[in-house]
Amino acid sequence: MRVVVVGSGVAGLIAAVDASALGHTVTLVTKADLGESNTHYAQGGISAVTSRDDSVPEHVADTLVAGAGLCWPEAVDVLCTEGPASITELVEWGVEFDRSGDDFARGLEAAHSHPRILHVGGDATGAGISRALVRAARNRVAEILEYTFLIDIAVEREGGRPPHVTGVTVLTASGKRTLDAEVVILASGGAGQLFRHTTNPTVTTGDGVAAAMRAGAVLADLEFYQFHPTALAVPGSFLISEAVRGEGAILLNAAGERFMTAIDPRAELAPRDVVARAVQAEMRAQDGQPVLLDATGLGKQLLDERFPSITAACRRFGLDWSTHPIPVTPAAHYWMGGVATDVDGRTSIPGLFAVGEVGCTGAHGANRLASNSLLESVVTSRRAVAAMSEPWPDNPPHARWNSLADRVRPVQEVSLDVSGIIAKRRPANGKKRDTVDRVELQSLMWDNVGLARTRDELVTAAKQFDKWRPVKEENRLFTDWEDLNLLMLAHAMTASARARHESRGAHYRLDFPTTRPELARPILVKASTDV
């Protein structure tokens, strides 16, 4: 079977290596070099039950609580139950997790009831996992195309058959190229570059989600974007791992006062959305100044040994966090939404899988539990490869939504006309559009579709999006295709946020500040025209 895997984070590397091991002909496509991905920058670690004093049911319970009533239980069960085997597979691929004697060294992070977070090199977990999997991919995958950009997913809609994937169109330094495939596995990550402040690398422009949307796939839960509470308030927004607060660091306002104890009984270890909004509120109260993360009580030795990457980053900016609190701000971190899938990564288009952050199994609900993302990437990728040779079920992602009727929570659907956005026809009003400016787009998303939203702000953002258009297709470079994707996803996320008239998890509406139980249902988005 011919398989194209798009993306080289842990999800893409696992999928490519596992599919190659089964004898499939695999082409791995990545827009930068093979090791550049969100995985590489993941500090906090990977969560899984690996000790006798912990249990899968407790991991499940913690995930459900963090997900704020919107997790899909089957996906959570699969994620947590298959966690231990996923760790075993990573070890077999050469990942060297930190040890405490003969056992794994386990850390505690927010909203976890037990220390179950495994790390590599203290705070270099993503880089450690990525290095091991890149070695495996270079040894086992038939074709690796670096610096190759996904333009579109080819879908056959004729011949009396249901729509099905036939390959992808990519852009290389030599021009466009078509890659034929019976199966396409999207593993292209999230879209942190939608926002002015993000912990994500520059490659995270939502290319897989946007391409799937153009191909006609259903998207889900787009309004739920998790903002990490603590990014270093310097150019580049370097992530300060939640594990630092797990070790005992505290948050202070500009006056040196600890504020989280008055917000939530869990204080700094409350779920990320709670901490991020509290930090934002303090920053607004102090004219936009960053808050302070005080880790001085942990001591220089622990900080140097446990968090060497963060220590080095602080030094680069002239900061010594062992003696003085450091300035931090929230930053866009992880997208719970994406291409709607079942627990095996199947999308609404036969032959198209989405694994890792690009997909939405429902396991994270409205707010991802810390360190569950790397775990989901491994679990779903393994399951997707195993499911490739199975018959494609009817509308696989819809099975979970249809059963919501048992709880009297019907699915809500949003139809989004993207034909004008991609400039294949003129806007109905005939008005000329300005070329999209990425910096302006990021600032608009941060200000109007960020941690706290209102209807007026969302409407203002949508009106501005309508005034922009991408560069004409024949003139597009890599970055122009990225801008198109960001503009499409900005439209889609804003439409989803306008449709959810409540606050839940990472989605917070100042004009609808309460959580409404009857709205514990997914919001689906699909392009309304054949683009």
Which residues are identified as catalytic? Answer: 272
Question: Residue 531 in 3-state DSSP?
Answer: coil
> Angle formed by the axes of helices 73-81 and 372-387, to 10°?
100
| Gyration radius of the chain's alpha carbons | 22
Contact 246, 109 (CB under 8 A): yes
**Residue of 320, 321, 360, 368 lying closest to 342 (CA atoms):** 360
* Integer CA distances (angstroms), 143 to 37, 153, 388, in order: 19, 19, 19
Q: Tell me the C-alpha distance between 23 and 36, whole Å.
A: 26
Question: Residue 507 in 3-state DSSP?
Answer: strand
**Residue of 445, 431, 415 lying closest to 526 (CA atoms):** 415
Q: Tell me the C-alpha distance between 262 and 507, whole Å.
A: 22
Q: Tell me the C-alpha distance between 497 and 303, whole Å.
A: 39
Q: How many CB atoms lie within 10 A of CB 525?
A: 27
- The values of phi and psi at residue 469, to 5°, are -140, 160
Place of tokens 């899938």: 341
Q: Tell me the C-alpha distance between 380 and 11, whole Å.
A: 8
C-alpha dihedral sign at 381, 382, 387, 393: negative
Q: Tell me the C-alpha distance between 455 and 51, whole Å.
A: 46
Q: Tell me the C-alpha distance between 312 and 43, whole Å.
A: 13
The DSSP letter of residue 430 is -
Contact 54, 224 (CB under 8 A): no
Q: Tell me the C-alpha distance between 250 and 267, whole Å.
A: 9
Question: Residue 380 in 3-state DSSP?
Answer: helix
**Residue of 451, 507, 489, 510 lying closest to 67 (CA atoms):** 507
Q: How many residues does the chain have?
A: 531
